[in-house]
Structure 1
């Protein structure tokens, strides 16, 4: 039986290749820029002084730093648009392989920026690494979803987010002022992102492409069977799982490639696309990047002494990792939808509490007490919104429409990332401690949408999930949609 497939050593190898080689890039480069902010700003100031004979103004420095942080998201938007095209043309494995070129180039530019006396190199390097991350976060979740047994698909989808938070914590620890966050070692801190690309280049030749891609898109049944056998182990009978993919292949063989326009105009594609888009927005507009990008500023504003902000930022990273592990353990038991609701609701409550604490009379107790809602905010984020939007998008679409849908959802995700990264400092400068009330309102809206519109996908095959959105009576994979609905696929709420 297909649902008896277990976790093999070869499956772990392929998963590690995708997680360390791809999702680590996104997490590491999200967290790495936070701790050494003052050190890198000093490099900007010295470079400006050497060029123009006078120091950079505070307003120009703030604008330049905000752009340095947010430019990765601009690259991410471009990369996310390229992800679907790359997956369609080269497959998931080759897309990850070729994408390492951008990782190594970006790492080199950032690593040599101080030696060249050029902050432009650092900014361009972060832009290029953003392109790399955009492609990775479109490709890796698809790969993890497609190689995972149905029984563990939620766990494997969450592993992508586990890679993100683990590498983010790594960057926060390495960025401490007594490690690599120093005036001489920060270029090495930024350049270390190239190590993940080298790891993937070393491991990827031993890993297969997605069996689903090989069969459904390339019509290479024997190669798909070999890849699936490699992933599942010699003891496993792949017949049933191959048959499920063959059903999808038969359905797709009668369909032409889904275009981006059709995703918006065809009803049964538009409905899951709207869900995917809102799920991505619920992640990025939740306020989490205000914590990830600007936690040092946030802690200082709360009254925490500056010498402790590095450690408190690492504390955020630790909570990130621990709660992602908890999410891994819960995802296939509690389900995607309920965890997302718990995460959004908890973040909303924490945002309100944080606003109250930030606007109370400042005392030592109040300052340190502010840490509690911030850490709980991160914990609730990782309970659901941190991981679920990335892989539920891959679950909502079949092979013919998945690449285009993932590209659109990824573009929206990065657009939200860019918006918060760039806008938060200005908004915070205007309204200070009330900034998080905006996030509380948005989180409440996303909670209501999830409750009424997002179905549970736990334990369902891709065909069963896509059947939820098909018009009654249409055929999917040779079976009427109502056949799948009788199998327990009616939309839950």
Structure 2
């Protein structure tokens, strides 16, 4: 439900755009006695669409103290308060004759999305065995795609894509929220959170037993304790502390670059061009909404495919390959759009390129950045890491919405070369820097970055724990005997 709502709210405003603008104009005329001018109407609509990203930024910023205090599962549960509140405001705006309610609802919905896109990958990465951590992490991307597709389907004229029914599009948000409210209380909290932050071994064991479906979870408990014994006597680090930590410097840089490329790679520009390209291909205007469903379907299929193969192929080839393919198809699309009025079959090549770019994005860049953010950092650093990644994500999202019209106006069809350059730069960086994290523990991933961070393996192992073969009882004994007046002695290592 969490990432589904993010995807749904990305696409839900497209179908009723004309009806909402008419509602804005009628409301303005009723209040002030004259019609709103075109520039003001465009500004109001732009604010309605882009302010979702501002709400997302707020959610990303406040998520760290929330997940620390309430835990991962309870944060996702309580987050539905934002979703239901936003749904009520947006769906009742027409009845109340207030477009401000719709804009405020978009802000609150953005807060919900900002929290969920940090708390959900964090929760999934912490409950997953390392053998399926990538596949389960891709669930975030899969349900974003399903959400986008659902918004397209419900926006069809036969369903809610009519002037009298568009408020139902926003009211539908309540359904997945209520499903979450009913189901989430029956799921355990993250066992890593219970063990390392709440120091509740019995509840952590029960959580592991529920998730893994077996009674003997001593190995899993020992593995978590071995990963970070010292950390049990440390507090969660702040974003500033994370940025100053030399041992994770390149992990932070990699997350910032992958999250930046995730938003700046040009997929939003693709959505902007879709209708015009379909029109150029000779598709009837009335049938374009149905043809557009193919983009949502391709997104979903590609995301599911990525989830199925990520543990076989690994994160690195999917991420680099996805960006690389986007470079190729952006280049072909630029040529096709530039020459499509001279060759009759080129518009169909443009349609193929659009679908290929969407598929390339969803195979790798669409979900793996969230997986990597969960894998790169130890327990005490993870909330701050997701806050950093979320901030970059939403700022980049807002930048694209703000700057793309100017880029498109200045470069026309050549604007896609800008996005091709961003994808190429991202793929090049990842080729030289990103290690493969498939089937590795958090400790092993940290060691893979040790040389690049110019941190000795010994120091890196002091930040984690090297006693992976010790029993849980021995670890507890060593931890207790090695702490004196809040200071950790050398004997712990």
Residues 142, 300 of structure 2: 8 Å contact kept: yes
Match of residue 341 from structure 1: 320
Which one of the candidate residues 190, 193, 198 is aligned to 1:210?
190
Cα shift readout 1:452-483 (whole Å, capped 9, x = no counterpart): 111111000112112233421212433299xx
In the aligned structure 1, how far is the partner of 2:234 from the partner of 2:276? Answer: 52
* 1:479 paired residue among 456, 460, 466: 466
Structure 1 outlier segments of 4+, above 6 Å: none
Question: Among residues 224, 243, 260, which one is paired with 2:222 in the alignment?
Answer: 243
Superposed, 1:149-228 pairs within 5 Å as 149-228=129-208
- Once the two structures are superposed, residues 380-435 of structure 1 have per-residue CA deviations (whole angstroms, 9 ceiling, x without a partner) of 00110000001210100000100001001011001111111232233323332122
More deviation, 266-275/161-170: 266-275
Matched, 1:399 2:386: no
| 1:85 alignment partner in structure 2 | 65
What residue in structure 2 maps to residue 253 of structure 1?
A: 232
Larger radius of gyration: 2
Alignment equivalent of 2:307, drawn from 320, 328, 331: 328
Instruction: Deviation per CA, 1:332-384: give whole Å up to 9, x if none.
Output: 00000110011001111111111111111426533333111000000000110
- Distance of 2:178 and 2:333 partners within structure 1: 41
Q: Find 1:131's aligned residue among 93, 111, 120.
A: 111
Gaps of 5+ in 2: 469-493
Contact 1:355 1:436 in 2 (8 A): yes
For the residue of structure 1 that corresponds to 2:435, the secondary structure is coil
Task: State the distance in 2 between where 1:315 and 1:195 align.
Answer: 24
Residue in 1 aligned with 2:34? 54
Q: Distance in 2 between matches of 1:90 and 1:50?
A: 45
C-alpha distance in 2 between matches for 1:176 and 1:404:
40
TM-score relative to the length of structure 2: 0.89
1:458 to 2:445 alignment: no
Retained in 2: the 8 A contact 1:69–1:293?
no
- 2:475 matched to which residue of 1? none
Q: Which residue of 1 aligns with 2:91?
A: 111
Say if 1:477 and 1:179 are closer, same or farther in 2 by CA, change over 3 A. Answer: same
Secondary structure of residue in 2 paired with 1:479: coil
Higher deviation after alignment, 347-356 or 56-65: 56-65
How has the CA–CA distance of structure 1 residues 253 and 186 changed in structure 2, closer, same or farther, with 3 Å as cutoff? same
Partner of 1:315: 294
Residues 38-93 of structure 1: CA deviation (Å, up to 9, x unaligned): 22222222222222333322222222222211111110001011112211121101
What does the per-residue CA deviation read over 1:91-113, in whole Å, with 9 as the maximum and x for residues that have no partner? 10111121111111000011001
Separation in 1, partners of 2:174, 2:274: 25
Find the partner of 2:245 among 266, 270, 278: 266
Match of 2:404 among 396, 417, 424: 424
Instruction: State the number of aligned residues.
Output: 460
| Structure 1 partner of 2:483 | none
